[in-house]
Structure 1
Amino acid sequence: MNRRQFIAGLPLALSACSATESWAPDDIVSRAIYRDPDPAYLTLYTMKNIGSDNGAHTALLINASQRVIFDPAGSFEQTRMPERNDVLFGVTPELESYYVSYHARITYYVVGQTIEVPPAVAEQALQLALSNGPVPQAHCARTTSRILRQLPGFSDFRQTWDPNRVSEDFARLPGVTTHEYRETDADDKSIAAAQINAALTADQ
């Protein structure tokens, strides 16, 4: 590739590395905040292809001073959890179940791995997620592993692009509990999104 071809390709390359910012207003976020009375914990969600077991997406639920989901470059759009740059606020257990159900379908299943952590560690994870900024497509595992590596007790985590490697490192932590979530919905996630949003609207 010559210099002219390289320069001509820059806009496309840069656009592929960019991410769309989102910033819900303060009043909407404040009204949505949910606090879980349970001890502080982290839940790593890994979305896996049923045929190959390859990881397709990584997200991190953080139960700290409030309960959020860090969903880097996520596609779950709904009406109840306001978003600020890939952080979803107001994550009640009901809304968490909708989040999982959205990703679980005939071609993908979801692995949830939960570990109890000291409140200070959960709070550090929350602050790292809040300060991270929007994540470009395909950077979900890399960003999540980078955040986890900064937490006390997680320094052995590999910096990786592979959701399965993040899950493997999480599985090595003492005291982790693991659950799998499987559904038989159609592969088209837009159908699940429409059904979920209809249910959420009906509940309001």
Structure 2
Amino acid sequence: MLRFLLMLLLPLTLLGCAEPVWAPDEAVARAVYRAPGPPTITLFTMVSNNTGSGGHSGMMVNASQRVIFDPAGTWWHRLAPERNDVHFGITPIMLDFYIDYHARETYHVVVQTKEVSPEVAEKALALIKQNGAVPKAMCGRSVSSVLRQLPGFESMPRALGPSRIMRAFGKLPGVETKKYFDDDPDDHSTLLRAQQAAAGAGDQPVTR
């Protein structure tokens, strides 16, 4: 009986484990990027080309700086230092890299963007920075939890499933939606190496 109970508890234990990452202060300060245009909240949903179901949620906040919150994600770049699933220095090329990494032969990326007030954007930035590292399979829950705390996003559901969050976000007024498709293979280890090289040598963020 004890062995049976341990087998049941093991997946829950693994689910509760998150890997903390904390980039140095100087790396984060050096990477800060302020994007032009109005403050925005962007929801990323990686959608299966075979089943139409959502496989992953992430969000980008364009406030006093532009960052990506990629809970339990696998994308990284040396010029976009990470602190517990928050990637700093999201220049146009880093944003392209992030989307390109997730768009592949089995998944496309739905990008939904909503303009918000500077106050809402700053609150979103503070919430994701305070959130902490997210356990595997909890990306949707963490994104929906952050969104529900923002003025104008109270209707967002408490949901684990990225598809449900995407549908609810799409019903908000003023949302602009784009979809990105690619035929890259599922194994993106080669693509990650190429992205590191494509940004060029040196430690400064790349802009274009």
Structure 1 moving runs of 4+ over 6 Å: none
In the alignment, structure 1 segments of 5+ residues that lack a partner are none
Compute the TM-score of the two structures, normalised by the length of structure 1. 0.94
Map 1:1-204 onto structure 2 (within 5 A).
2-3=1-2, 5-7=4-6, 10=9, 13-202=12-201
Would the alpha carbon gap of residues 8 and 169 (structure 1) be closer, same or farther in structure 2, given more than 3 Å must change? closer
Note the C-alpha offset of 1:132: 0.3
Amino acid at match of 1:201: G
8 A contact 1:79–1:200 mirrored in 2:
no
SS in 2 for 1:201: coil
Q: % of aligned pairs identical?
A: 46
Distance in 1 between residues matched to 2:111 and 2:44, nearest whole Å: 5
Note the C-alpha offset of 1:192: 1.7
SS in 2 for 1:187: coil
Give a deviation string over 1:144-165, Cα, whole Å, max 9, x none: 0011001001111101010011
Task: State the superposition RMSD in angstroms.
Answer: 1.6
Note the C-alpha offset of 1:121: 0.4
Distance in 2 between residues matched to 1:48 and 1:81, nearest whole Å: 24
Note the C-alpha offset of 1:16: 2.8
The count of corresponding residues between Structure 1 and Structure 2 is: 203
Distance in 1 between residues matched to 2:11 and 2:177, nearest whole Å: 40
Give a deviation string over 1:94-137, Cα, whole Å, max 9, x none: 11011000110111100000010001001111100000000000
Compute the TM-score of the two structures, normalised by the length of structure 2. 0.92
Amino acid at match of 1:196: Q
8 A contact 1:102–1:192 mirrored in 2:
yes
8 A contact 2:15–2:137 mirrored in 1:
no
